[in-house]
Amino acid sequence: MKTHWQILVVDDEEVMCESLAAWLREDGYVVDTASSGRDAVAKARLRDYAIYFVDLKMPGGMDGIETMMQVRRLHPEASIIIITAYATVDTAITAMKEGAQEYIVKPCNPEEISLLVNRIVKVKNLQRENAILRKKLTRQYVVHDVVSKNPRMQEIMALCGEIASLRSTVLIQGESGTGKELVARAIHNAGDRASKPFVAVSCAALAETLLESELFGHEKGSFTGANQQKRGKFEMADTGTIFLDEIGDISPKLQVDLLRVLQDRAFYRVGGSEEVRVDVRVVAATHVNLQQAVAEGKFRDDLYYRLNVIEIRIPPLRARREDIPLLADHFVERLSHELGKEVGEVSEGALRLLLDHNWPGNVRELENAVERAMVTCRGPVLTENDFAFLAQTAAPAPAWGIPAGMTMQDMERVLIIATLERTQGNIKEAASVLGIDRSTLYEKIKKYDIPR
């Protein structure tokens, strides 16, 4: 563990400097020396030393205290030990006030230095361990920030952890409001790119030309209003992740450009002739059925296959109703802090109302509903009355009707899709509900090309 921690010995007397450095090297540390305060600060700029032994009296306008102050500005966490042959109470107080970890008088007992360095290293090892554990814990929370006890969602979160450090492109499909961006962020935050940029772009929000410039940047003068060169989102996301939301809405031209980026990891800025290379992980999302869009010729199949390396389908909230109480509590807890209201829980009656609602807008709609209820509620508990607006906005339950021209096969397809949705894709359960065996259900899924 010692080689992790580098030490800098600072003393204008070479013999003093080298002898202490040699003694510390015998103990297994990597030790550098500096012959003045300025030399020490220059070395501190280049390397992150864990411990500094700094002589108090040094010529050249920068004494040990000044050196320590400058080093601490560069590395506040560094441990600095002031050494002096001329100890006075005043200098000791000044050194400690300015942030010296220890103040030792030379010559000092070898045991004293040995114990001191061991103590500092022990603390630094614990701090490092603590930082690693914190990071791991944060990652765990980030993945689990997608609140769910639904088995399918838990599978998705486990998958996010597994694929987090890969560079493979991910395609997230799901209805609006299901948390596609949250899943994309979970993938980014759980992987090696966590400390690098995460850049989200909504492809549906901008017109084709604007989106092109937004994604790839532009050169000065490439179009009216392009007064200066601008970096695109792909460049901003270099070494990190770009999240392309509503990818199903991009134009055919942009589909071609995007395909090139995915193939070559390179592109040209709008109006530019210089190739820009990037190391970006692409996570795309859409609420439309891309497979169907491909079949209908609206989306390039080669781009679809490039995007769909890892596919994640997020189930709608109505297919994971067990998450509704959990999510409601989660939003109540979070919003009570944000809104400064002391609301602690959701009543049973209100929960029944929430469970009965169809949630076409999914988790986002639930979040908005909880926020609206919290804004207007008067007590510490959210009641049915606080959610009364849901009954007004809820679409009437569709009457069971058979559209004209519907065939037996159409009917069977609809029935299988609805059952699979209710059983959250569980084939065994769906087969049991439908009264057929599993192999028959598999055949029908294949026959009707039902996505799973």
Contacts to another protein by CB under 8 A: 2, 13, 15-16, 18-20, 22-23, 25-28, 83, 106-111, 113-114
CB of 344 vs another protein, minimal distance in Å: 53
Distance between CA 416 and CA 243 in Å, rounded?
Answer: 33
29: which DSSP letter?
Answer: -
Q: How far is the CB of 108 from another protein (least distance, A)?
A: 7
Q: For the CB of residue 79, give the shortest distance to another protein in the complex, in Å.
A: 17
Whose Cβ is closer to another protein: residue 27's or residue 63's? 27
CB of 314 to another protein, least distance (A): 51
Q: Kindly report the number of other CB atoms within 10 A of residue 4's CB atom.
A: 12
Residue 234 identity (one-letter amino acid): F
Nearer to another protein, 14 or 301 (CB): 14
Which residue, 30 or 206, is less far from another protein as judged by CB? 30
Please give the full DSSP string across 65-78, using - where no structure is assigned. Answer: HHHHHHHHHH-TT-
Give the SS3 label for residue 226. coil
Q: How far is the CB of 16 from another protein (least distance, A)?
A: 5
Neighbours of 49 (CB within 10 A): 26
Burial of 80 (0-12, 13-18, 19+ CB in 10 A): buried
Region of 332 (left: φ > 0; alpha: ψ -120 to 50; beta: rest) is alpha
Cβ distance to another protein smaller for residue 15 or 89: 15
Q: Give the C-alpha separation, 187 to 157, whole Å.
A: 9
Nearer to another protein, 43 or 106 (CB): 106
CA distance 107 to 128: 32
Please tell me whether the peptide bond between 107 and the residue prior to it is cis, using omega within 30 degrees of 0: yes
For residue 125, the minimal CB distance to another protein (Å) is 13
Nearer Cβ to another protein, position 20 or 187? 20
Give the residue with the Cβ less far from another protein, 40 or 353.
40
Q: Residue 105 CB, nearest distance to another protein (Å)?
A: 10
Which secondary-structure segment (H or E) carries 277?
Answer: strand 275-277
Closer Cβ to another protein, 114 or 176, answer by number? 114
- Residue 266, sorted as left (phi over 0), alpha (psi -120 to 50) or beta, turns out to be beta
User: What's 405's DSSP letter?
Assistant: T
Least distance to another protein, CB of residue 8, Å: 15
Would you say 218 and 229 are in contact if contact means Cβ atoms under 8 Å apart? yes
- What is the Cβ-side half-sphere exposure of residue 82, based on CA atoms within 13 angstroms? 29
